[in-house]
């Protein structure tokens, strides 16, 4: 069968699904995409994008409050939550429309409805208009994403308890909020709510927030957040939540139990793969703890069926889902492709931002591999000082013998942009010598990456000599 004659059906129009559909269409496939809700999935409609809209406004609000120190005086500045919500809706609508336009421009047919496998080669779709449509294909890509995970805690099912799907639809800002979970979702929302004047408490079961990020920089970020009035309780367990006249009372156990009263409670303890109701088990697709089992080419246990994104991926990030979607499409269309999870960047859009790629210092220490650490503080960078964002640092981890970059971690302004250089360096197996030999524009935040790399070699030009 020729490449261009293949029929591909994608189930799910999120960042993994629509990218898979676009790539398959580029390679000549006849593509149908089935989506029961809005195109763009969780990331575009209820996650990454709308959250960043709020974070941007929160950052502007903070800059205005602190503006007098740089000569900016603003009278009567305030955040109008309803206007902000409208702005968020407009951004999301524009991007959703853009996804639809791209799919149409690539001749991808979009079918609205719920899909269920009838056999490995056929699905039936219960469409929005009540009709039932059968679709057969040479290959299917399952990209059904994830849903919020709610732990079995008494009270988490009370009316008004927020999850990541509902927190972006608040009618008004609460006066106080308790966030259950100190992962990326919890810490980002803590940063947003605090900057907008909400009294924030974060409860995390593990010994530290953001457990998958570099511990040194996480500790630094925690100090910054706590200095802004965010209360962070770690090694803490939520025992129960009950309704009160003014909101909720949450029983939290650390060394002792206390009851914390807040207007709102937001459970942000992560997400779980969504695979229910697809008929995967009935046709023999293997799952592992609710996640579709796949190989490095995104193939499931059933020939012709692939899975990408949160429903299958070991790393539940939008950019990983997109990469997996491209791999699946290319494999289906006869190309050589496979996922490489060694160099996946992670970002936390707090203020300041936190980002990382590759190994952390703790991981390298545990592995026994000899390594060297280079650091450069943001308060020694001209652009960071000009922007009034001196908190944070760049941290580069390199092999002690070869100088190969093993990890890069950034806390500071535009950390999620700076991490691209570290990701490219790791993917290309570059050494710190090659970063150092690259001319970085001045004045830029990117100079911190070069200086941290110089520090690996004990040659940092804008730091005092090491003892």
Residues annotated in a binding site: 52, 144-146, 181-188, 204, 270, 310, 316-319
Query: What is the C-alpha to C-alpha distance for residues 293 and 301, in angstroms, rounded to an integer?
Result: 7
Binding-site members for FAD are 52, 144-146, 310, 316-319
Comparing C-alpha atoms, which of 413, 405, 395, 298 is closest to residue 349?
413
Reduce the secondary structure of 197-218 to three states and give it as a string.
CCEEEEECCCCCCCCCCCHHHH
Query: What is the C-alpha to C-alpha distance for residues 386 and 459, in angstroms, rounded to an integer?
Result: 25
Query: What is the C-alpha to C-alpha distance for residues 54 and 189, in angstroms, rounded to an integer?
Result: 9
Query: Coil, strand, or helix at residue 88?
Result: helix
Q: What sections of 80-176 are H helices per DSSP?
A: 81-105
Q: Is 442 a catalytic residue?
A: yes
**Which of 56, 87, 409, 442 is flagged as catalytic?**
442
Binding-site members for NAD(+) are 181-188, 204, 270
Comparing C-alpha atoms, which of 29, 105, 31, 32 is closest to residue 334?
29
Query: What is the C-alpha to C-alpha distance for residues 249 and 351, in angstroms, rounded to an integer?
Result: 29
- Residues whose CB falls within 8 Å of the CB of residue 40, separated by 6 or more in sequence, listed in order: 13, 14, 15, 18, 49, 92, 95, 96, 99
E strand or H helix at 186, and its extent?
Answer: helix 184-195
Is the Cβ–Cβ distance between 108 and 35 less than 8 Å?
Answer: no
E strand or H helix at 265, and its extent?
Answer: strand 264-267
DSSP 461: T
DSSP code string of 29-47:
-EEEEEESS-TTHHHHHHS
Here the tokens at position 136 are: 């057969």
Here the tokens at position 254 are: 């650390």
Here the tokens at position 171 are: 């009618």
Catalytic residue numbers read 442
């Amino acid at each position: 069968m020729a490449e261009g004659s293949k029929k591909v059906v994608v189930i799910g129009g999120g960042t993994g699904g629509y990218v898979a559909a676009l790539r398959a269409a580029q390679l000549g496939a006849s593509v149908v995409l089935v989506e029961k809700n809005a195109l763009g999935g969780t990331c575009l409609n209820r996650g990454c994008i709308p959250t960043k809209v709020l974070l941007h406004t929160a950052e502007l609000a903070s800059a205005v409050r602190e503006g007098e120190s740089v000569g900016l005086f603003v009278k009567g500045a305030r955040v109008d939550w309803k206007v902000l919500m409208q702005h968020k809706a407009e951004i999301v609508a524009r991007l959703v429309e853009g996804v639809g336009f791209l799919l149409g421009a690539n001749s991808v047919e979009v079918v609205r409805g719920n899909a269920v496998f009838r056999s490995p080669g056929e699905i039936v779709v219960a469409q929005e208009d009540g009709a039932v449509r059968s679709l057969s294909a040479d290959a299917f890509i399952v990209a059904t994403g994830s849903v919020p995970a709610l732990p079995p805690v008494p009270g988490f099912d009370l009316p008004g308890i927020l999850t990541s799907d509902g927190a972006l639809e608040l009618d008004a800002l609460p006066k106080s909020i308790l966030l259950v979970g100190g992962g990326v979702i919890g810490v980002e929302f803590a940063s947003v709510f605090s900057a907008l004047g909400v009294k924030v408490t974060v409860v995390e079961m593990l010994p530290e927030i953001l457990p998958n990020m570099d511990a040194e920089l996480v500790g630094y970020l925690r100090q910054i957040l706590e200095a802004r009035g965010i209360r962070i309780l770690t090694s803490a367990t939520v025992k129960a939540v009950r309704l009160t006249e003014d909101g909720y009372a949450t029983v939290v156990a650390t060394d002792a139990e206390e009851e914390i009263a807040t207007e709102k409670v937001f459970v942000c303890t992560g997400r779980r793969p969504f695979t229910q109701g697809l008929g995967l088990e009935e046709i023999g697709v293997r799952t592992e703890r609710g996640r579709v089992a796949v190989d490095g080419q995104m193939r499931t246990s059933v020939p012709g069926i692939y899975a990408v994104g949160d429903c299958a991926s070991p790393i539940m990030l939008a950019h990983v889902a997109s990469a997996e979607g491209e791999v699946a499409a290319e494999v289906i269309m006869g190309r050589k492709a496979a996922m490489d999870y060694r160099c996946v960047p992670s970002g936390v859009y707090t203020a300041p931002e936190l980002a990382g790629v590759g190994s952390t210092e703790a991981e390298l220490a545990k592995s026994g591999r000899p390594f060297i650490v280079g650091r450069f503080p943001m308060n020694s960078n001209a652009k960071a000082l000009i922007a009034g964002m001196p908190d944070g640092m760049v941290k580069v981890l390199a092999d002690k013998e070869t100088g190969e970059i093993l990890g890069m971690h950034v806390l500071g302004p535009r950390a999620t942009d700076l991490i691209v250089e570290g990701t490219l360096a790791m993917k290309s197996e570059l050494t710190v010598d090659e970063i150092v030999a690259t001319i970085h524009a001045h004045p830029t935040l990117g100079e911190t990456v070069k200086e941290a790399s110089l520090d690996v070699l004990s040659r940092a030009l804008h730091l005092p000599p090491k003892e």
